[in-house]
Amino acid sequence: MSNPGAQKDKPARDCDGCTLCCKVMGVAELEKKPGAWCPHCVIAKGCTIYETRPSDCRTFHCAFIRNPALDETWRPSNSRLVLAEDGAARRMTVHVDLSRPDAWKREPFYSTFRKWASDIVPNGMQLLIRLGERTIVMLPDREVDLGIVAEGESIAIDRQYTPQGLRYEPRKIPRPAPA
């Protein structure tokens, strides 16, 4: 798959009992931190406040649901990974189930993430691995653990030209104020 974030306008399939996004992702409206089950989630069933759920939950569809090129291996309930694309931020985030913190390092995931990073980072995009509130930046040649990226921070990836060639260096920066 050349574009990890390639998504269709409509979901290609349904959640089919998967509720992992309700655990691994944060929901600001509910003051729910990433890594903890949402109190409104019935695991493997769904949301008890479905009709009035927060807007972030209403609009979210993971990459597995939206992209038919991802096979069943990538279903979050199987992989323990939720892939979320943020086109506006030019970022793909892999939210990892904290009960399986090494899930992103297993195959076929790790080599696929490495390939995606090689494809997208040179084009100014980011591939982030989130373990709860901790953020790891996946680069073409390595990973960099940035720790917790605070609410008022963002991530920049600088290009450094070295005698060995181009090297990417991620760093935390203050998030610009809204215009």
Q: Is residue 169 part of a domain?
A: yes
Domain-embedded: residue 15: no
Residue 127 is assigned to a structural domain of this protein: yes
Distances from the Cα of 165 to the Cα of 116, 126, 146, 161, angstroms: 20, 20, 23, 6
In-domain check, residue 7 = no
In a domain, 92, yes or no: yes
Instruction: For 118-167, write each residue's pLDDT tens digit.
Output: 999 999 999 999 999 999 999 999 999 999 999 899 999 999 999 999 99
Question: In the chain, how many domains are there?
Answer: 1
Helix, strand, coil percentages (3-state) for the chain, rounded to 5, are 25, 30, 45
| pLDDT tens by residue, 36-79 | 999 999 999 999 999 999 999 999 999 999 999 999 999 999 99
Provide the residue range defining the domain that includes 83.
Answer: 61-174
Question: Does a structural domain hold residue 113?
Answer: yes
Establish if 2 belongs to a structural domain: no
Supply the Cα-derived Rg of the chain in whole angstroms.
Answer: 16
- Taking CA atoms, 125 is separated from 56, 109, 140, in Å, by 22, 19, 12
